[in-house]
Structure 1
């Protein structure tokens, strides 16, 4: 059967999917994908997999794909990060029998992607990307897709998308942010960029960014003309404030247009995990997201959730949170409104808007650093908020610099000196001086003089080896031969 391409691939293989769950590292595992599919998701991606590790490590393949598939989890696209055409194709060949397409990650903006030279940090290397997509398109039995970020310039973004299409990309997901827009500096995703790409290419396009409810999905499709909308963990945005929010991870029923009680989805997810186990770190992370707003109210249970070491323990904390929420519901006065800016009460699934940078921070702080401001706010002990949290975990450790013992400094370099050093130096400086002067420093365990004397004494007892006694590090056959190699 010939390989389907473009719109035929989207309509027949992917079933014309409009509601898509993004690839999320350690967050879009099988159990979460199945939960999302039960509540309106029509297409899911695996977490981003590292192509080079996937090729060389059989356990990595087994744990991240081969044991992470089931008949209900289709259609499915496997995403890889890679920067070498041969390695990318080798990994894709090992994965293609377990999925419906292979996606190349060209959108990850994180520092780990910069260090590994993949993701959004390849977007200027068009020759390399062309060769990767072209080779994969020729060798694979399933289509190749790409997930990209935009350039600041719309016309360059359009040319970028056209280049990928020409190389063999059969479906393009466009995250409407640049690689610099991440974390608290994310801002709003540009649907104008996405709309321009959709008009310029003849393959299906998915939009990513500014999606926090079903109405946003419909509005995005109408405004941009895309075939589908992807919801991730860091995409949705409140347009008025330009602050990044959380979509699918806080409400997996987003594509149903529902905002159910948190415990309903938490219990369903934990039941799926019993059938399809995954690392405890994934489960804990999902529960932190689902219960995010409630954990701001019942913070003692947040500590419990962080400490538990078993799936049963996590489930117990989730049940305790459910009971607390039900008590809050009973105590809620008629006509009361949610606190703060939340659209619903804390026990309802809803987006989480992360705080962005305060525009007036620099002016109000008088140019002082964030750490300096934290130390001022740290209370009577002068500790920053971060150090106060560490002190709670390590109550016997001293974090206040004023309470720590003061160390005497080395006379030469300023490092802490040895307490019993005969030269009042640190070990490094002491070693150099002791060698130069053929001296001992018991405080640092350096015995150059003693070793030299032992060497000369031993030579004096050996027939044919007696020489005129010479001292100093340059003595022939003496000290320099005995200990010189130790200093090389």
Structure 2
């Protein structure tokens, strides 16, 4: 979700009933070197509580430095052992840590020893093969507060089936909360995943892009059909939040959301072309007003 779950997007998801938000993937090295853009990414809105900052890295000492730095700005710190992006893997971070579980354990132990706020781990169910049950048990014994499992291998990226049975197996043997993740895009699917896994908690990722109101649907227990007028209102609010946060560069950040909001609606190609070629925030707001199917 790098490039998506910034402060404006999280605020919007909160307004639709999201219960816990996570920051974008934050590099511990970028925190260590005080990268200005990275420091901006950890900002949160006043309504954004509880809020978890998601960190990735490979060195436990730098990881601890970053965790101690961000601890005052969040309610929870998440160790990412799930991201399959090539640049993250090259840094021996994200899901690469599942290839070197001893390093993941070392990072987790270091943070639990020094950080007072809850520590969670977001992980894939394996790198090229399924994680051993012993890994989950050891993380629980260290004191990890909850684990989110994306039910795909790193090698699958975001394609192929999600193994909810694996998530359910782990949920049945751990006493800490297990959060099910992967492919949850509707209330109907959420019901199925909860039935298979037995998990009380679900994580929504890509399904919220262009549909932040999915959280309202989940809370109400429905799968709603939103008309274009409603979606346009949400788009304008989202863009305004981005303008407030990003300033003149908001339009560059918003284009990908624009396309996602209109996905599936007929006759919107020309509006996508218009947003791709506009250069100011005000032009973008005007284009949203023009949208019709």
TM-score, length-normalised on structure 2? 0.90
Question: Which runs of structure 2 are paired with 1:276-287 in the superposition (5 Å)?
Answer: 276-277=245-246, 279-280=249-250, 281-287=252-258
1:263 equivalent to 2:232? Answer: yes
**What's the CA shift for 1:274?**
4.0
The 5-angstrom pairing of residues 302-381 of structure 1 reads: 302-321=272-291, 324-325=292-293
Say which of 205, 208, 211 aligns to 2:181.
208
Distance in 2 (alpha carbons) for counterparts of 1:304 and 1:116: 38
**Structure 2 residue 24 is the aligned partner of structure 1 residue 47:** yes
Among candidates 156, 160, 167, match of residue 187 of structure 1 = 160
Per the TM alignment, residue 133 of structure 1 is displaced from its structure 2 partner at its CA by 0.5
Contact 2:32 2:65 in 1 (8 A): yes
What is the 5 A alignment of 1:122-271? 122-151=97-126, 156-183=131-158, 186-233=159-206, 247-257=207-217, 258-261=224-227, 262-271=231-240
Say whether residues 1:36 and 2:5 are aligned partners: no
Describe the shift of the 1:94–1:46 C-alpha distance in structure 2 as closer, same or farther (beyond 3 A).
same
Contact 2:31 2:39 in 1 (8 A): no
CA distance in 2, matches of 1:289, 1:42: 22
TM-aligned CA distance change 1:275 to 1:60, over 3 Å: closer
The answer to whether residue 265 in structure 2 is matched with residue 291 in structure 1 is no
What is the rounded CA distance, in whole Å, between the counterparts of 1:62 and 1:132 in structure 2?
22
Question: What SS class does the counterpart of residue 30 from structure 2 fall into?
Answer: helix
Contact kept, 8 Å, 2:125 with 2:150, in 1: the verdict is yes
In 2, distance between residues paired with 1:60 and 1:168?
Answer: 32
Deviations 1:321-365 (A, max 9, x none): 1xx23xxxxxxxxxxxxxxxxxxxxxxxxxxxxxxxxxxxxxxxx
Counterpart in the other structure of 2:45: 70
**Alpha-carbon distance between aligned partners in 2 of 1:293 and 1:61, rounded to the nearest angstrom:** 33
8 Å contact kept, 1:101–1:142: yes
Alpha-carbon contact 1:253-1:259 (below 8 Å) kept: no
Decide which structure has greater helix share. Answer: 2
CA distance in 2, matches of 1:52, 1:178: 26
Structure 2, gaps ≥5 residues long: 218-223
SS in structure 2 of the partner of residue 42 of structure 1: coil
Q: Report the Cα distance in structure 2 between the residues aligned to 1:260 and 1:42, rounded to whole angstroms.
A: 22
Residue 269 of structure 1 deviates from its aligned partner by: 1.4
Higher relative contact order (CA 8 A, sep 6+): 2
- Structure 1 residues 187, 61: CA separation in 2 closer, same or farther (over 3 Å shift)? closer
Give a deviation string over 1:389-418, Cα, whole Å, max 9, x none. xxxxxxxxxxxxxxxxxxxxxxxxxxxxxx
SS at match of 2:185: coil
Give the C-alpha shift of residue 58 in structure 1.
4.9
- Between Structure 1 and Structure 2, whose CA radius of gyration is higher? 1
**Count of matched residue pairs:** 281
Query: Displacement of 1:175 after TM fit?
Result: 0.2
SS where residue 276 of structure 1 aligns?
Answer: helix
How far residue 292 of structure 1 moved from its aligned partner, in angstroms, is 2.2
Asked if the contact 1:251–1:259 (Cα under 8 Å) also holds between the matched residues in 2, the reply is no
The answer to whether the Cα contact below 8 Å between 1:191 and 1:224 also exists between their aligned partners in 2 is: yes
Asked if structure 1 preserves the Cα contact closer than 8 Å seen for 2:80 and 2:123, the reply is yes
Shift in Å at residue 157 of structure 1?
4.0
* 2:88 matches 1:119: no
Q: Equivalences for 1:396-411 in 2 at 5 Å?
A: none
State the partner residue of 2:221: none
Structure 1: 4+ residue segments shifted above 6 A: none
